[in-house]
Chains A and B, each alone.
Chain A
Amino acid sequence: EADIYQTPRYLVIGTGKKITLECSQTMGHDKMYWYQQDPGMELHLIHYSYGVNSTEKGDLSSESTVSRIRTEHFPLTLESARPSHTSQYLCASSTRTSATDTQYFGPGTRLTVL
């Protein structure tokens, strides 16, 4: 089982609030990712990081921001939550030296913005 953790698992919040979704991994992986997934829909990459102080935007435009100050930690922040941000957010990590880029996923945070 992969050692990647996300908190909170569920979050219901009002419009305009600032929120931070936490993601931590204990595998020492260099690469980390954030995906957004609506129910029954595909995964969309919104942010990724190759290592400390590296952050990149993914394929799907997102109003969220990320930071990578420590290898094991990759938090995602929404400055002002809106109902359109309601979705499941999945964090993943992988080893940079892995040719297959095998990604290990956390359990996800299900966000509802009222």
Chain B
Amino acid sequence: QKEVEQDPGPLSVPEGAIVSLNCTYSNSAFQYFMWYRQYSRKGPELLMYTYSSGNKEDGRFTAQVDKSSKYISLFIRDSQPSDSATYLCAVHNAGNMLTFGGGTRLMVKP
């Protein structure tokens, strides 16, 4: 079983839609959870990180962690075509390294 699993998509939504991106992880010891955004032919850039359970909001983006079900989510409100990218979740593992999910490709259509 992979440490972090993510649906590869692609996920296609109309502009203005609320987007929900999700990951599951296997190790309940993980404490830090991150979302990276990667545009085509670019390196990933950090969007948000959260510690333990709960929600964190930054503009149109909300990261949510449910440690009881080992489920992490990223919500994008009022999605824009510029949000079209691959979104990678990552967990900070016991080895003090990051383990990435495979990424979900999002397409927001005007």
Contacts and interface: CB of A to CB of B under 8 A. Distances in A.
A101 B43 contact: no
Contacts of B49: 100, 102
B100 interface: yes
B96 A43 contact: no
- In this complex, the interface size class of chain A, counting residues with CB under 8 Å from chain B, is 20 to 34
Give the dominant DSSP class at B's interface: strand
A104 B101 contact: no
B46 interface: yes
Given A40-B8, A40-B105, A100-B49, A107 B97 contact: no
Contacts, number: 48
Contacts of A107: 42-43
B107 to A, nearest CB: 13
A74 interface: no
A105 B43 CA distance: 6
B96 A101 contact: yes
A102 B43 contact: no
A108 B32 contact: no
A100 B93 CA distance: 10
Given A40-B103, A100-B92, A102-B49, 6 more contacts: A2-B45, A6-B43, A41-B102, A45-B97, A105-B36, A107-B42
Interface of B: 8, 32, 34, 36, 41-46, 49, 51, 86, 88, 92, 96-98, 100-103, 105
14 contacts: A2-B45, A40-B105, A42-B88, A42-B100, A42-B103, A43-B100, A100-B49, A100-B51, A101-B92, A102-B34, A103-B98, A105-B44, A106-B43, A108-B42
* Nearest 8 interchain pairs by C-beta: A105-B43, A42-B102, A43-B100, A100-B32, A105-B44, A108-B43, A107-B43, A106-B43
Interface of A: 2, 6, 40-43, 45, 48, 90, 92, 99-108, 110
